Copies of this chain bind each other. A is one copy, B any other.
Amino acid sequence: MMKKVRLGIIGMGQQGGFYLGTLTGIQINPGKPIEKADLEQIEVTAVSDIDPAKREKIKSLLPNIHVYDNYIDMLDSGNVDAIVTTVSHYLHSEMGIEALKRNIHVLLEKPAGVYTKQVQELIDVAKGKPELTFAVFFNQRMNPLYRKLKEIIDNGEIGEIRRTNWIITTWYRPQAYYDMSAWRATWEGEGGGVLVNQAPHQIDLMQWLCGMPKKVYAKCQYGYQRDIAVEDDVTALFDYGNGATGVLVTCTHDIVGSDRLEILGDKGKIVVNNSRTVTITRLKKSESEINAQITDLTEVYKLMRGSSNIQNELIDVETIEFDNVWGQQHIDILKNFAANILDKTPLVAPGSDGIRGVRLANAIHLSSWLNKEIDIDFDENFFYEKLQEKIREEKNEQII
């Protein structure tokens, strides 16, 4: 068994450069200074990029790393045991498939793909290769805050979920960001806006923590506050099929930025502010039991005025502050990926999970296009056709 995973990074853009820097200590892109992580299970042995200037820079800074202009050559070289993709969302699935076919482990940048049809193909290939590791870079699943929430919910501490509600508008992106590259915020280049590029973390966390909704209604605003073809503002309403509902609000034009997550269960409530402060309210009995026990009308009035002892006697409130751990989460995902390859440590973000966030994002788009509620098991070929329509419309507009 290998002792170190020989990793190839596909794409040397902002994210690929960050992973390379974290693993080698060598900074190749401008931005926040990079520190080498303590991650001896992984050695970067190769990178690929289509940009000659990037390749030359890496060759001069990291002469021991193999550099390719084509990721297929890298996969075929025998120099890598595993790859991580940091490329256009559309390419994630096909690169994953090509790697798995060559018995190379795969860590896909989020989202796992743009449309479920594509991601399903990848998952089917992965099923035929159970000995290989296939994971998605859902780094927020390594955030101790969300791991704590997952534990609380899975333990049944807040009971059965009745409501989810996340307003996450801290994804501020000025027009200059969109103008950085022609592929940004286009149907052809990215397949969507905030849903595909910024909010996949929250979309994944919502389904990881609270499960998949059964139905989705959504309103997306396309090019609302930015000169882009795709959505910069989303309000989605979830129906979990058992009476529970949810709301997700996100956008890229709120310079102030809100981030408040609420999860209501029949035994308590979790409120998270700014992805830092968690307030957990636990009921000593389920709300249904408390409700059944209130028979005295005086008690009803006291409850209505907030002066009942029931509230004080049956409710415990705990507040936990978490640090901001951006950066460390990425290292932890890489560690978990390597540990699964080396000794079968369970994956925190298995590749098969990747399709759920894509399905949810697709359902949000589809609902907004058709202006009606969409079953989460929508026809994936229909979605694919609709997406192609958007791409064609976008091209026609560019010609005009």
The residues of A with any CB-CB pair to B shorter than 8 Å are 30-32, 162-163, 165, 167, 169, 172-177, 180, 217, 219, 221, 224-226, 233, 235, 237, 239, 243, 245, 247, 249, 251, 253-256, 258, 260, 262, 264, 268-269, 271, 281, 283, 287-288, 290-292, 294-301, 303-305, 310-311, 315, 371-373
Contact = CB atoms under 8 A, between A and B. Distances in A.
Contacts of A305: 32
A162 B253 contact: yes
Given A176-B296, A255-B283, A372-B373, 15 more contacts: A162-B233, A163-B249, A167-B262, A172-B304, A177-B304, A219-B239, A221-B243, A221-B245, A225-B287, A225-B291, A235-B237, A254-B287, A255-B310, A256-B264, A256-B315
Contact of A233 (B175, B243, B296): B243
B256 A281 contact: yes
Contacts of A176: 294-297, 299-300
Contact of A177 (B237, B254, B300): B300
Contacts of A217: 217, 219, 237
A268 B268 CA distance: 33
Nearest to A239: B219
Given A221-B245, A245-B235, A298 B371 contact: no
A200 to B, nearest CB: 16
A303 B172 contact: yes
Nearest to A264: B254
A272 to B, nearest CB: 12
A391 B385 CA distance: 44
B255 A290 contact: yes
A320 B300 CA distance: 32
A305 B301 CA distance: 49
A282 to B, nearest CB: 10
Contacts of A311: 255
A207 B355 CA distance: 40
30 contacts: A32-B301, A32-B305, A163-B249, A163-B251, A163-B254, A169-B264, A172-B304, A174-B290, A174-B300, A174-B303, A176-B294, A176-B297, A176-B299, A180-B300, A219-B239, A221-B245, A225-B287, A226-B291, A233-B245, A235-B247, A253-B287, A253-B291, A254-B264, A254-B269, A255-B283, A255-B310, A256-B315, A258-B262, A260-B260, A371-B373
Contacts of A177: 300, 304
Contacts of A310: 255
- Counting chain B CB atoms within 10 Å of each CB, the highest count among A176, A233, A239, A269 belongs to A176
Nearest to A243: B224
A167 B283 CA distance: 21
B249 A249 contact: no
Nearest to A373: B371
Nearest to A251: B163
Contacts of A262: 167, 258
Contacts of A290: 174, 255
Contacts of A239: 219
A277 to B, nearest CB: 13
Contacts of A258: 262, 269, 271
Contacts of A297: 176, 180
Nearest to A268: B256
Contacts of A268: 256
Nearest to A32: B305
A6 to B, nearest CB: 31
- Counting chain B CB atoms within 10 Å of each CB, the highest count among A175, A247, A255 belongs to A255
A180 B299 CA distance: 12
A152 to B, nearest CB: 15
- Counting chain B CB atoms within 10 Å of each CB, the highest count among A162, A239, A251 belongs to A162
Contacts of A180: 297, 300
